[in-house]
Amino acid sequence: MRPIIFILLFVLAATMIVIPALFVMLFNEKQSTSEFQKIIELESDPQKNIVVNVLRTSTQKIESYSLEEYVRGVVAAEMPIDFELEALKAQALAARTYIVKRIIDKNYTDVPNGAMVTDTVKHQVFLSDAELKKLWGYQYNERISKINESINETSGQVITYNGIPINALFFSTRNAYTANSEDYLQKEVPYLRSVSIRWDHDSAMLLGSPYVRFSTKP
């Protein structure tokens, strides 16, 4: 009888050791797959001659990026990565339009000589690829692929009105309605008219404000 008891105890002990080990192996394999999955790369800029000079506020130095690299850094910084791809693409269009209009207008009076924009809400928040790697860690491959996809699928595209890039202002929350341009620009702009956006009512209530700061300023 004793040998049977010893065998049962041995099987039980082995089970208690092996099963947790298997779970650890499966978890590590899943994490490894996520970490080393194939990255969707950022496609080459169709307009390689366009360079965006960004004043990095943490160092007070100017860094230069190609247009699409800059747009990628803005999308990654301005919109949560778990938003749908179509939302990220819309953000990419707005970000690209904003900087292209600024370049066309040569509107750099609010930044130091040599810079075009800052990396803050004064213009558009921006994070470099190195900063994103540090921020996202092992999730970097998956997340940068999603951002790159949104940039690639809108590459070179801007939003225009009468053939001219619009003033692509955007905000995080407005509590059910967008704003008319004269609410903050002191002039009427035909493409910046108030429309209903009921879906953001809950987020506005959580933030405790009927409307929240604009991410880009005129």
- pLDDT tens, 177-204? 667 767 767 777 776 777 776 655 555 4
pLDDT at 166: 86
Phi, psi of 201 (to 5 degrees): -60, -45
Report CA torsion sign: 40, 53, 192, 202. Answer: positive
For the cut 50, the answer to whether the pLDDT of residue 212 exceeds it is no
For residue range 116-166, list pLDDT tens digits in order.
999 999 999 999 999 999 999 999 999 999 999 999 999 999 999 999 898
Q: How confident is the model at residue 213 (pLDDT cuts 50, 70, 90)?
A: very low
Query: Positive or negative CA dihedral for 99, 103, 106, 108?
Result: positive
Position 44 scores a pLDDT of 75
pLDDT greater than 70 at residue 20 = no
Per-residue confidence (pLDDT) for residue 73, from 0 to 100? 98
Q: How far apart are CA 127 and CA 86, in angstroms?
A: 21
Residue in the block written with tokens 């360079």: 51
Rounded Cα gap, residues 30 and 164, in angstroms: 48
Single-letter code of the amino acid located at 92:
A
Q: What is the pLDDT of residue 101?
A: 94
Report pTM: 0.72
- Confidence label for 214 from pLDDT (cuts 50, 70 and 90): very low
The sign one gets for the Cα dihedral 210, 213, 214, 218 is positive
Using CA atoms of 115, 64, 150, 99 in order, give the dihedral in degrees to the nearest 10.
Answer: 20
The pLDDT, as a whole number, for residue 30 is: 47
Q: Which of 212, 177, 173 is nearest to 197 (CA)?
A: 177
pLDDT the model gives residue 3: 62
What percentage of the chain has pLDDT greater than the value 90? Answer: 52
Say if CB 206 and CB 168 are below 8 A apart: no
Q: Which of 18-22, 155-159, 213-217 has the highest mean pLDDT?
A: 155-159
The tokens of 103 are what? 């370049």
Given phi > 0 = left and psi -120 to 50 = alpha, else beta, which region is 126?
beta
> What's the pLDDT band for 207 if we cut at 50, 70, 90?
very low
Beta strands in the chain (DSSP E): 51-56, 61-66, 117-118, 160-161, 164-165, 176-177, 196-197
As a whole number, mean pLDDT of residues 57-61 equals: 96
pLDDT digit string (tens) for 153-184?
Answer: 999 999 999 998 988 776 655 556 667 767 76
Mean pLDDT, the chain, as a whole number? 79
